[in-house]
Amino acid sequence: MNFLTEIVAFVVAIGVLVVVHEFGHYSVARLCGVKVLRFSVGFGKPLVQWVSKKTGVQWTIAALPLGGYVKMLDEREVDPDSGTTIPAEDLPRAFNRQSVAKRIAIVAAGPIANFLLAIALFSAVFAGGVTEPAAIVSQPAPDTAAAHAGFEGGETVLSMRDAQGGETHPIRSWSDLRWKLLDASFDHRRIVLTAKTHDGTFDFPVTVAGITDEQADQDFMDKLGFAPGGGTLTVAGVEAGSAAQKSGLKAGDMLRAIDGRSVDNATSFIDYVKAHGAKPVTLVIERNGKRESVQIVPDLKHDASTGKEIGRIGAALANQLPTVDVRYGPLESLRLGVNRTWDISIYSLRMFGRMIVGEASLKNLSGPVTIADYAGKSARLGVAAFVSFLALVSISLGVLNLLPIPVLDGGHLLYYLVEAVTGKAVSDRWQLVLQRAGLVCIVALSMIALFNDLARLIRF
């Protein structure tokens, strides 16, 4: 059932993104007076096709749903040896006869359509409202940025600003905090978080300069020492013969502390247990309204995903975090949609640039398998999660197509910008050479992405 969900979600996601991207090219081409011959969703053998009586455009749905294209009338694609020619009355409507400005507009319209879609989707999520974990910080691990800043656990983050001053940005949810810390960690900025505690509201200066790009590529929040807290962690079940059963843990027990550290987050609890395999730890549990201490020795187990020996107690956990309903007005939603799209676009470009120069890991590249996996997971989480995922992938598609790589939209834009500056079109010979080089780049990136997909899938 999960596999079917992933396939359906993936097809829907790719279908929507391809149609929007290609419709950007199509609509601007029509506005510029260019004759469009075919609009295809997918590549390969056509499954369904029809010709519009009004426009004469052939609409096609093809077998391989990993892209699409808009075919326009172009003299360069007519084989002179075949004897085929373009009727004289259609020559002014050929793409290659349009001004540089029109050609730039037509090519840029595809990525722009993806960015506009992302803005619309994010705006809809902000306006429709979404339930998210509250921005309550769990007790941080020692020697992390959060611990050095003075966080002890239980603080509710209200806002963030740069340490050098400037605008104060409100924090409304854990997701909001994550995005703002991601931006700060990528720039290695010092920031100040204002948080509410039991004793009042205080400023917490956080230094994120110690986070490397590779760490930021992974779970940078863990590296900073931030994890959502303020919730309750309950034992949902106990495996027979496990360390949990031997220690007397029962379903329904509420976990309150482990070795003196408060427990309000499943991730930090599990990480602590993993690091203490075959070592006795003391749990404080609450059972029937009374607290008691339980000593437990986590079993030492082999973790196939990491190849390391880790601790495991054999208990299923239920983590209930406090949540907030985040909802904005129409204008504020639009502004936030534009800001979120801009932030993700800039982050994607900078991350890609750092991968090129070797400052960030190529493991960040993902292919269709990972996209399908996340499409299915987000679809199971609900409409808001799937729409947000769709917006994120739409931005990625827009950014990718704007890269100055021949065969992509960005490569064609580079040709036209050179033509606009020099007054001369890039020669067919150079375009052929660059097209081949660009194709090699795309194939190489695709192979790396596919390798990363397989590595995540079979965990090697």
Residues recognised as catalytic: 22
Rounded distance, CA 412 to CA 78, Å? 19
| H helix or E strand, kind and range, residue 37 | strand 36-51
The 8 Å CB, 24+ separation contacts for 308-313 are 309/277, 310/274, 310/275, 310/277, 311/273, 311/274, 311/275, 311/276, 311/277, 311/278, 311/279, 312/242, 312/243, 312/273, 312/274, 312/277, 313/242, 313/243, 313/244, 313/247, 313/249, 313/273
State the residue for tokens 């809809």: 124
Other Cβ atoms closer than 10 A to 144: 17
Rounded distance, CA 91 to CA 124, Å? 43
Whole-number CA gyration radius for the chain? 27
Angle at which helix 383-402 crosses helix 368-381, to 10 degrees, equals 150
Other Cβ atoms closer than 10 A to 380: 14
Instruction: Look at the chain and count its residues.
Output: 460
